[in-house]
Structure 1
Amino acid sequence: MIERLNPTTLRAVPDQYAGIYTHSTRLDHPKKLVAFSGQVGVANNGAVASDFAGQCHQAMDHVEALLDAHRLGLDDMMRVTYYVTRGEDLAELTEIRQTRWHSSNPPAVTTLIIAGLVDPNWLIEIEVLAGN
């Protein structure tokens, strides 16, 4: 079982991130621990949406497919790292996360604004550590 900790000695999780962020996660004696390579918003046929939301949803689809392949669920995500190439997309990322991945058991999260990804058309990459 994954334990989620938000110690009172740290800043409280802001309301806008409640359900999509926790300060830390811990898994003692895991049966399964899986690291996912970064997933980008490229469809299986190679198509890339031109907008952030389209790419974000596609990358999330890939993460969910990997979770399913390992017989894991969203609540099994321990750590999620979001790499975003445009700062103006951060508010939309938060909205999408709240709509799609809101949970009473959120993962530890890091979000980075980076100069670019391998393909300059890619706007987001999502990396996950999951286990149970």
Structure 2
Amino acid sequence: MESGKITRKNPTNMPEPVGHYTHITRIPRNAELFVTSGQIGVDQSGQFPESMNEQIRNTFYNIKTVLASENLATSDIIKVNIWATEEIDWNYMYEEWGKLFSNDYPAMTIGYISRLGLPEIKIEIEIWAAKP
């Protein structure tokens, strides 16, 4: 294991992940840590689309934008927390997920909740990143 590199693994003595994530991510000593606020599906004009998939698309756009503001690459992402107020279309979600990541997935947590900060928000995704 390289000491100055973010590493991800799935221990062989436990079940494989049930989705596109990794069970454990190791952050090297002295890495700079970045935590985003939850990114939501608002578009550039401040509007919320009605459909969950459109909000997912906008949310991923907003994630890419906030990462770029700090010159972070998707390989720097160590943890993703997802909250949704309605069922996620996983085929669509993983299509967008695949545009952000290769097969080097970060750790991930998903929760379905009754509501988010505003009634029109259907999904919110928080990103943790580290730059060695």
TM-score of Structure 1 vs Structure 2, range by shorter chain: 0.7 to 0.9
Aligned-partner SS, 1:13: coil
Report the Cα distance in structure 1 between the residues aligned to 2:23 and 2:97, rounded to whole angstroms.
16
Shift of 1:46: 1.1
Contact 2:77 2:127 in 1 (8 A): yes
* Structure 1 stretches lacking a partner, 5+ long: none
Residue 4 (structure 1) aligns with: 8
Amino acid at match of 1:106: Y
Counterparts of 1:102 and 1:65, CA distance in 2: 15
Instruction: Return the offset for 1:66.
Output: 1.3
* Cα offsets for 1:8-39 (capped at 9, x unmatched): 1210134xx3xx31001111124321000101
Matched to 1:116, the amino acid is: R
Q: TM-score, normalized by length of structure 2?
A: 0.87
3-state secondary structure, aligned to 1:28: coil
Aligned match of 2:130: 131
Could you give the per-residue CA deviations for residues 99-128 of structure 1, whole angstroms, max 9, x where no partner exists? x22323210011111111111111100001
Aligned letter for 1:86? E
Q: Which residue of 2 aligns with 1:103?
A: 102
Q: Give the TM-score normalised by structure 1.
A: 0.87
- In 1, the alpha carbon distance for the partners of 2:9 and 2:30 equals 17
Q: AA paired with 2:112?
A: I
Q: Which amino acid aligns with 1:8?
A: T
Total equivalences in the alignment: 126
Q: CA deviation at 1:90?
A: 4.2
